[in-house]
Chains A and B, each alone.
Chain A
Amino acid sequence: MSRSLTPRTVAIVLMVAALALLPLYAKLSGNIFLLTLFTRILILALAAVSLNLILGYGGMMSFGHAVYLGIGGYAVGMLAHEGIYSGFAQWPVALAASALFALVIGALSLRTRGVYFIMITLAFAQMAYYVLSGIARYGGDDGLTIYKRSQFFPPLNLSDKMQFYYVCLALLYAAIYLVWRIVNSRFGMVVQGVRSNELRMRAIGIPTYRYKLVCFVIAGTLCGLSGALLANHTDFISPATMYWTRSGDLIVMVVLGGMASSFGPLFGAVALLVLEEVLSGITEYWQIILGPLLLLVVLFARGGIDGLLGSLSRGKEAGHG
């Protein structure tokens, strides 16, 4: 984090402040839709933060990250279906299940590289999608309605939109902080080095596979939390959450926001989802605009929003993100 008042710092501060005040504004103006929209943005931003850890910092291009949204969500949904509504039971299960899946998927996928890695992570997500579509007890293709949100001790009530918003906001900030600490620790340096030059990493004496795997598991677990939140938010969970195009959306958020930056994923989530809202208000065929827009971002603004902010800054930052 820079010490001086760079445009990037200003943008982050403004964003943080705006998000904190948003529910109050929504309440005063009666615009509840805004609250719902931004709750969703916060939840997906959390998923994007987790993806940024392996993609932005670690260079591991997983095209199946949305699978953890599904796993976390189904943990909550399945337990609720069986009558277990306590968040203290549901959420740890969501985290543990995500961690376990990430361990297995990662252990197998990380044996491959490059486009093979992309495909195999995609394949695992699709496998999960198909398996869950096939379980009639939990709704199969149609999905599962969740009649009661995760219960914690009163006065905490997740059915209260404002409370839920602030819970999501707090968890998002906690996640951003956690990722920041991880990335700058010894572990994080290894992960960044592996992205930068894996061969060199091994040459200097680091068994890279195990570090990539641990990173992968951390990211999956964090995304599982996001899944649990998403299930609560929509009061519903279906296999569609894990479809590979959702993983694509997450990747877009990370890249759009700026990879390997703390707040990039948040900027990306806000940008993508607000853009979708705005564009779909203009035309029913908004994806016609979004598609080429993505192409242009890739070609010309590769550093994303954070990159643009960074190039406005004049500080001499010595190569850390």
Chain B
Amino acid sequence: MLLIIEQCLNGLQFGLLLFLLAAGLTLVFGIMDLVNLAHGSLYMLGAYFAATFAAFTGSFVLGALLALAATLVVGMVLEVIAMRRLYGRDHLDHVLATFGLILFFNELVRLVWGPEGLSLPLPPWLLTSVPILPGISYSAYRLSMILVTLAVAGFLYYLVMRTRIGMLIRAGASNREMVGALGVNIKLLYTLVFGIGAALAGLAGLMQAPILTVQIGMGENILILAFVVTVIGGIGSIRGALVAALMVGFIDTLGRAYFPDLLRMVLSGAAAATAGPALSSMLIYLLMAVVLVVKPAGLFPASGK
């Protein structure tokens, strides 16, 4: 019983992490019609920056904040130098160009930080367990991840739905030329949106760093999951990204936890040991395939342009 609750919370936490990534992706795609494969690289940079700044300042929180700022800056610079030349082009061009950026960033990180990867240790006050229900404790850090992500989700909702900037973002999504004609500085708006997307990716990267990994190429694996989430949710829809991310988070986490046991009932021990993790990785893709067959534009397709 304990274990199920813990797994569910893990699923929630992973789902929310995916949401951070997917929200950035879907924002950028929905508003600038840009397919950005290098989103995973920004995630990686967030983690590397956090590890470096935390070691430098001695404070986890300070390191995290600095990393966030740094990723935001990198995102905006990237937008100005490279991304804005891709707007309006074929998606194939986006895929190729950003694929090239992945190669570039992976090598750059290897050049600057070496091939070994880094670690980001947690401060003692986050290493504890917090009782959440009578008799059930949960990792304080994971709990704070959930809270932070929920706060960010809430902030995003507020930003997009309630502020003037959010209105511009939504308007820009449905009609770029019109918004430009209204005298709004579209270029600045796009740079800002891309920056927000980058910061979200960086936040996801730095948050998972203490519990998962800080290494080269970490972006690619999770990028695919993020894309799967955006596709299931419907490209351009933040609400869709949240629903899909939670679905994927739960299925992936619970699948990894319980699927191998299910397999053990059918296969021999050794076969199940290798097949288990591999097949549970597959569950997400199966989900996406099923969704796309039934609803080719995702669960919450954004209204067409």
Chain A residues at the B interface, C-beta cutoff of 8 Å: 61, 63, 108-109, 111-116, 118-120, 122-124, 126-127, 130-131, 133-137, 140, 244-245, 248, 251-252, 255, 285-288, 290-295, 297-299, 302
The residues of A that contact B224 with a CB separation of less than 8 Å are: 122-123, 126, 244
Write the nearest CB–CB distance from B242 to chain A, whole angstroms: 18
Q: A123-B228, A136-B275, A302-B93 are in contact. Are A115 and B285 (CB under 8 A)?
A: no
Task: Closest A residue to B273 by CB, please name it.
Answer: A136
- Complex: A28 Cα to B92 Cα, angstroms: 43
Q: Is the CB of B96 within 8 A of A255?
A: yes
Is A288's CB under 8 angstroms from B107's CB? yes
Q: Can you list 26 residue pairs at the A/B interface with Cβ under 8 Å? A: A63-B95, A108-B293, A109-B292, A113-B296, A115-B29, A116-B231, A116-B235, A116-B296, A126-B285, A130-B278, A130-B279, A131-B278, A134-B278, A136-B271, A136-B273, A140-B274, A252-B96, A285-B110, A287-B106, A288-B104, A291-B103, A291-B105, A293-B100, A295-B82, A298-B96, A298-B100
Option from A63, A133, A299 in Cβ contact (under 8 Å) with B97: A299
Considering the chains assembled together, what is the distance between the CA atoms of A69 and B96 in angstroms? Answer: 21
A26 to B110, CA, bound (A): 35
Shortest B25–chain A CB gap in Å is 10
Contact in complex: B279, A134 (CB < 8 Å): yes
Chain B neighbourhood of A291, CB < 8 A: 100-105, 107
Q: How many angstroms from the CA of A302 to the CA of B286 in the assembled complex?
A: 35
Contact A124 B289 (CB under 8 A): yes
- Contacting pair A115 B235 (CB below 8 A): yes
User: Is the pair B96, A294 in contact by a Cβ cutoff of 8 Å?
Assistant: yes
Contact between B292 and A112, CB atoms less than 8 A apart: yes
How far is the CB of B293 from the nearest CB of chain A, in Å?
Answer: 6
Given A288-B104, A288-B111, A291-B100 in contact, is the A134-B276 Cβ separation under 8 Å?
Answer: yes
Return the 9 tightest CB-CB contacts between A and B, nearest first. Answer: A134-B278, A291-B104, A294-B100, A291-B103, A136-B274, A134-B275, A287-B107, A287-B103, A288-B107
Interface residues of B in 35-82 (CB under 8 A from A): 35, 82
Whether A115 contacts B92 in the complex (CB less than 8 A), given A288-B107, A288-B108, comes out as: no
Cβ of B297 under 8 Å from chain A: yes
Q: Which of B86, B100, B282 has the most CB of A within 10 A?
A: B100
Assess A252 versus B99: contact at CB under 8 Å? Given A116-B235, A130-B281: yes
**B103: which A residues are within 8 A, CB to CB?**
287-288, 290-291, 294
